[in-house]
Amino acid sequence: MAVKTETTPWTKPAGKPIAGKAVPRPARSAQVQAYLPELMKGLGLTMRHFFRNTKQMVLGQKPDPVLESLSEGITTIMYPEERRPYPARFRGLHRLTLRDDGSPRCVACLCCSTACPAQCISIEPAEYPEGDARRGYERYPGTFVIDELRCVFCGFCVEACPCDAIRMDTGNHPVPYDSRDQFIYRKDLLMSFASRDGQQLTENPRHEPGDATHPGITREQAGH
Amino acid sequence: MSGVLIVLALIKILIMVGFLLNMAAIATWADRRQGAMVQDRVGPNRAVVFLPSIVVQLLFVLPPALFATLAGFTAYRGVRGPGAAEAALMGAELAIFVGWFSLLVLCFVVRRKGAANALDEMVGGWAPRSILVTGLALHVAAFVALSMVPAGSWGVAARGMNGLLALVFAAVGIYSASKVPEGKVGIRLAGTLHAIADTMKMIWKEDFIPPRGDRLLHSLAPILAVFPVLVTCAVIPFGRTLCFRDANGNGFDFADLKTVAPAMTSAFQCPRGTAVPLQIADLNVGILYIFAMAGTGVIGAAIAGWASDNKWSLLGGLRAASQMVSYEVAMGISLISLLLIYGTIRLGPMVEWQSTHTWGIFVQPFAFILFLVALLAETKRVPFDQPEGESEIVAGYFVEYSGMKWGMFMTGEYVEVITSSVLLTVLFFGGYALPFLQNDGVRVAFGDTVLFTYKMNHVAVVVISMLTFFTKVIFVAWMQIFIRWTVPRFRYDQLMKLGWTRLLPLALANMLVTAIVVLAVDGHSDIEGALSFAADVTQALLAIGMVAAVLAFFFGLVEPVKRQKILLSTAQKFAAAAGGVRMRPRQA
């Protein structure tokens, strides 16, 4: 809608109709024109903020920036000392879960490295030594390497894992390092991590060969 | 000029320059921190120095130990003569102040971090408001009790009270040191370390000169920008005149420094002996010197804009030059009305006039507003910072500067803030004058009716006047920084219009009206009497206002901030279950 405006120094081009919606100019009342009353109001507002925030800092009453993110006040998190609690399903750095005897639950099936869209997982499977109850039934990861710099933290490896052997519940976000080598996490390091509540095991039971609950099937029975 | 006068002049220069430079460094921090507090941010407070806990303990112990030693020495030596009553009063009031203030701090610390022993638990259980009220009551009680002490026992009272002060200081120092945790302790000093960190960074940064710029002028400009604002303060009186007596009769020399005139009259002249004005140079051109020096400030900005070989900096330099020249006119004329009333252009007599009558802001409120606006424009600060308007011309005239040269422009800007606060204080806020504080002590009088008198030592009056001056300057600078965080930038044509078509005619009109009123009042003793009574009333209002402001500050501070807790999102609910933002030790 074109609106015909009268010619004033503030409308350009003078006298030409303005295309589009006309925005009414604010009233230029004496109070606004005098500027000082409005300035004092503004000073009062800034001072109110200043005194409230300063008082909170002095008295140590800074509101919790996460809990009260929508309320007024300082919402800065002083990061290295103060941490924002991550949600329960936050995908942090990986860890390898352990069995009761401290060995990795991983059976080196390569599901995770197959599922990984970033191809950042590398596993070399190894056989248990002769005489071990698990030999012939399952293998273990000789090397287990994750390049955390390549990782996109999608969580597909966790979903793909049939043994609940890899998890991303450490609650640690990726850490900055000086060199690329330091982002290569190996088996020992991954096994040393714990979940956010300090667990290195998982709640899911594992039926070891020799247990009463184990069906007793081995690789030797594959050839019939 | 004798040797002692030269030494005293050097000391005065050191005080003034030290105050300016330190305050400028603190203002760079205060500006950012204040803006952060206004905008609900934390602001710069991350600069940190990690010190071993023993060093931090020493930092906590040493200053109180120094004061305790001073007080203990005074108590041990004793005070004789007329100074004894004041020494007793000062000792008692200081001891009470240090006592309740430390208890208040301890109370808040305990409430924040938990109690470590029975004393902590007791103090943390007290209401902060009751600590404050008890302290104030003790202040009044000590004043009343000490004024009833007979003149013969002043010496004993001075000893006792200073001994008490020493004990309080020692207790505070040792107890606060015992609270320092083990291991490395991070010292932040509320973020003031940022100024040091920034300076170190700027000193080591590359000093870049544009290849086609003018090398000489490019290096000269920062010097020209800093120099004028520093020398402006040479004529500022920052305290009452110190009076010395000539004890050995061979003129004023170093030996006479010990014989400060003890008894003074309320007049400003020294009774006899040598007067040492607390002013670096008492020029008879006074305010004209300030205008002359402030006027040369434009050269630095203009040369910087020209020498940088950059269109933006050239625009910035042009803007700075035209803006500063324009507003200088209005600034000078707005002050003429004030000079008509003071009847002098020397700054010392101006402050004396305000001390005996009333502050300049009450006689010329309109001139104050005009002068304040012109001064803000002159210092090139928001809302008049078009010369460095980021959104239009990047950084204006110093866009091609880096390192410490840029730092000098920044220092110059903040010294200018302090200098303009100094000017406002001296011209409109009574300089070193406090309501009812005369040269010989407190004297509350309306017209000829004297309500209350209290004689004070000459040195005490001078020290109080100096502290008053510097406190006022800091307060005015704080107010100026607030204007920066409140008002948005003007457009350049608005700026020019304001200067030439508003400020200048208004200043001229104010000057004319003031001149007519001054002529009309001159010689009518009844009107003059009424005016001087009104002046005393304004002084009383000022005194009440100051006390009320200080009390309101402390009472407001001890009341905790009330806030509603609203948990809205699921993320917030989870965070609440997890205990909110948690403090953890620093990682590597």
pLDDT per position as a tens digit, A130-164 = 888 888 788 999 999 999 999 999 999 999 999 99
- Mean pLDDT, rounded, for B508-523: 90
> What is residue B587's predicted lDDT score, i.e. its pLDDT?
40
pLDDT for the residue numbered A6: 58
Distance CA B102, CA B96 (A): 10
Q: Does A176 touch chain B (CB under 8 A)?
A: no
pLDDT recorded at residue A8: 56
B408 vs B83, more confident = B408
pLDDT of the residue at A11: 53
| β-strand pairing of A139-147 with A166-167 | unpaired
Question: Is any Cβ of chain A less than 8 angstroms from the Cβ of B37?
Answer: yes
> What integer pLDDT is reported at residue B268 of this predicted model?
66
pLDDT at A147: 93
**pLDDT for residue A98:** 92
Contact state of B557 with A59 under an 8 Å Cβ cutoff: yes
Q: How many angstroms away from the CA of A38 is the closest CA of chain B?
A: 10
Q: Do B580 and A66 touch (CB under 8 A)?
A: yes
* Structure tokens that stand for A138 in this block: 């399952």
Q: What is the DSSP string of B351-420?
A: HHHHHHS--HHHH-HHHHHHHHHHHHHHTT-TTS-GGG-HHHHTTGGGTT--HHHHHHHHHHHHHHHHHH
Backbone angles phi, psi at B105, to 5 degrees: -60, -45
Contact criterion met (CB < 8 Å) for A54 and B37: yes
- How many Cα neighbours within 13 Å face the side chain of B86? 15
Q: Mean pLDDT throughout B461-468?
A: 89
Task: State how far the Cα of B484 lies from the Cα of B383, in Å rounded to an integer.
Answer: 7
B146-174: pLDDT as tens digits: 888 887 788 888 888 889 999 999 999 99
Yes or no, beta carbons of A85 and B34 under 8 Å apart: no
Mean pLDDT of A114-118: 94
Tell me: pLDDT of A9 over 60.
no
- Per-residue pLDDT, A10: 56
A173 close contact with B: CB closer than 8 A? no
For residue range B342-355, what is the model confidence (pLDDT) as tens digits? 888 888 889 988 88
What's the pLDDT at A192? 92
Average pLDDT on A101-114 reads: 91
Q: Contact at 8 Å (CB) between B432 and B471?
A: no
Nearest CA among B341, B553, B359, B552 for reference residue B468 = B359
- Report whether pLDDT(A223) > 90: no
The DSSP call for residue A139 is E
**Pairs of CB atoms within 8 A across A/B:** 113
Read off φ and ψ for residue A72, nearest 5 degrees. Answer: -80, 165
Mean local confidence (pLDDT), B50-60 = 90
Amino acid sitting at position B61: V
Mutate to test the interface with A, among B32, B34, B370, B581 (most CBs of A within 10 A): B581
B582 at the A interface (CB within 8 A)?
Answer: yes
Residue recorded with tokens 């990984």:
A116
Which residue of B34, B37, B40 is in closest CB contact with A75?
A: B40
Give per-residue pLDDT as tens, B203-262: 999 888 888 888 899 989 999 888 888 888 888 998 888 887 776 667 777 767 766 666
CA distances in angstroms from A96 to A56, A114, A208, B64, B322, listed in the order given: 44, 17, 18, 56, 70
Long-range contacts for B566-571 (Cβ within 8 Å, ≥24 apart)?
A: B566/A68, B566/A70, B566/A71, B567/A67, B568/A70, B571/A66, B571/A87
- Percent of chain B past pLDDT 90, that is, above it, reads 17
Nearest to A125 by CA among A185, A187, A168: A187
According to the model, what pLDDT value does residue A161 have? 93
| B533-B537-B543 Cα angle (round to 5) | 145
Residue range A171-190: mean pLDDT, rounded? 89
* 3-class secondary structure, B69: helix
Cα atoms in the Cβ-side hemisphere of radius 13 Å centred on B138: 16
Q: Which residue has the higher pLDDT, B581 or B313?
A: B313
> Which residues of chain B neighbour A81 with C-beta distances below 8 Å?
583-586
Q: How far B193 CA lies from chain A's nearest CA (Å)?
A: 17
Query: Which chain A residues are closer than 8 Å to B41 by Cβ?
Result: 74, 76
Is there a contact between A83 and B565 if contact means CB atoms under 8 Å apart? no
Q: Regarding beta strands B449-455 and B441-446, do their DSSP bridges make them parallel or antiparallel, or are they unpaired?
A: antiparallel
As a whole number, mean pLDDT of residues B528-555 equals 88
**CA angle (A114, A88, A144) in 5-degree steps:** 30
| B259-264 own/partner pairs: CB under 8 Å, 24+ apart | B260/B458, B260/B459, B261/B458, B262/B81, B262/B82, B262/B83, B262/B457, B262/B458, B263/B82, B263/B440, B263/B458, B264/B439, B264/B440, B264/B458, B264/B461
Start-to-end Cα distance in chain B: 61
Q: For B373-392, what is the mean pLDDT? A: 84
Q: What is the pLDDT of residues B15-27, one digit of tens each?
A: 988 998 888 888 8
Cα–Cα distances in angstroms (integers) from residue B313 to residues B222, B390, B397, in the given order: 14, 11, 4
Tell whether the torsion through CA atoms of A33, A39, A41 and A45 is positive or negative.
Answer: positive
What is the C-alpha separation between B192 and B189, in angstroms, rounded?
A: 6
Q: Are B463 and B566 in contact (CB under 8 A)?
A: no
pLDDT at residue A96, as a whole number: 94
Mean pLDDT on B524-547: 86
Give the span between the Cα atoms of A203 and A201, in whole angstroms.
7
Q: Please report how the helices B403-428 and B458-486 are oriented relative to each other, as an axis angle in degrees rounded to 10.
A: 120
Residue B440, pLDDT above cutoff 60: yes
Q: CB-based burial of residue B263 (10 Å sphere; 0-12 exposed, 13-18 middle, 19+ buried)?
A: exposed
Q: What is the DSSP string of A46-82?
A: HHHHHHHHHHHHHHT-PPPTTTTTTSSS-----TTTE
What value does the CA radius of gyration of chain B take, rounded to a whole number of Å?
A: 27
| HSE of B273, CA atoms in CB hemisphere, 13 A | 24
Report CB contact under 8 Å: B572, A80: no
Cβ(B383)–Cβ(B490) below 8 Å: yes
The overall average pLDDT reported for chain B is 85
Flag whether pLDDT at B460 surpasses 50. Answer: yes
Q: How far apart are CA A36 and CA B71, in angstroms?
A: 49
* Integer CA distances (angstroms), B58 to B61, B66, B192, B460, in order: 5, 12, 20, 30
- Measured between beta carbons, the chain B residues lying within 8 angstroms of A93 are none
Nearest CA among B214, B91, B119, B104 for reference residue B555: B104
Q: How much of chain A exceeds pLDDT 70, in percent? A: 89
Reported confidence tier of residue B426, pLDDT bands at 50, 70, 90: very high
Minimum mean pLDDT among A93-97, B48-52, B244-248: which range?
B244-248
User: Is the CB of residue B462 less than 8 Å from the CB of residue B240?
Assistant: yes
Q: Which residue reads 């300089």 in tokens?
A: B431
Task: Give the CA distances from residue B444 to residues B145, B354, B377, B530, B539, in Å, rounded to whole numbers and listed in that order.
Answer: 21, 16, 39, 17, 9
Q: What average pLDDT does range B169-182 have in this prediction?
A: 89
* Rg of chain A taking only CA atoms, in angstroms: 32
What three-state secondary structure class fits A29? coil
Question: Per mean pLDDT, which range of A36-45, A147-156, A207-216, B491-500 is the poorest?
Answer: A207-216
Backbone angles phi, psi at A150, to 5 degrees: -80, -30
Residue B580 in contact with partner chain A when CB distance is under 8 A: yes
Confidence band, pLDDT 50/70/90 cuts, at residue B565: low
Confidence bin at A2 (pLDDT 50/70/90): low
Query: In Å, how far is A73's CA from the nearest CA of chain B?
Result: 5
CB contact (8 A) between residue A84 and residue B581: yes
B406-424 average pLDDT score: 90
Of B557, B574, B587, which is closest to A88 when you measure between CB atoms?
B574
- Tokens (6 digits) for A172: 């640690």
Q: Cβ distance B274 to B242 under 8 Å?
A: no
Which residues are CB-neighbours of B501 under 8 A, at least 6 positions away? none
B-chain residues near A67 (CB < 8 A): 565, 567, 572, 575-576, 580-581
Residue type, A75: T
Give A 5-64 residues with CB within 8 A of chain B: 36, 39, 42-43, 45-47, 49-61, 63-64
> What's at B265, amino acid-wise?
T
> How far is the C-alpha of A13 from the C-alpha of A17, rounded, in Å?
8
Cβ distance B322 to B390 under 8 Å?
A: no
Q: Which residue has the higher pLDDT, B8 or B274?
A: B8
DSSP state at residue A27 = P
Q: Which residues are CB-neighbours of B95 under 8 A, at least 6 positions away?
A: B161, B164, B165, B168
Q: Which tokens sit at A223? A: 């050839």
Q: Where is average pLDDT lowest: B11-15, B470-474, B555-559?
A: B555-559
Residue entry with tokens 């597909």: A156
Secondary structure of A154-187 in HEC code, one letter for each residue: CCHHHHHCCCCCEECCCCCCCCCCCCHHHHEECH
Q: Is A182 on the interface with B (CB under 8 A)?
A: no
> Cα dihedral angle (B574, B575, B576, B577), rounded to 10 degrees?
50
Are β-strands B437-438 and B441-446 bridged in parallel, bridged antiparallel, or unpaired?
A: antiparallel
A13 min Cα distance to partner chain B (Å) = 19
Q: What does the pLDDT read at residue B138?
A: 92
> What tens digit of pLDDT does each residue of B282-310 get?
888 888 998 888 888 888 888 988 888 88
Q: HSE on the CB side for A108, CA within 13 Å?
A: 19
- Distance separating alpha carbons of residues B103 and B63, to the nearest angstrom: 18
Q: How many Å apart are CA B146 and CA B93, to the nearest integer?
A: 10
Kind and range of the H or E run holding B518: helix B504-521
B487:A84 CB<8 A: no
B5 touches A: beta carbon within 8 Å: no
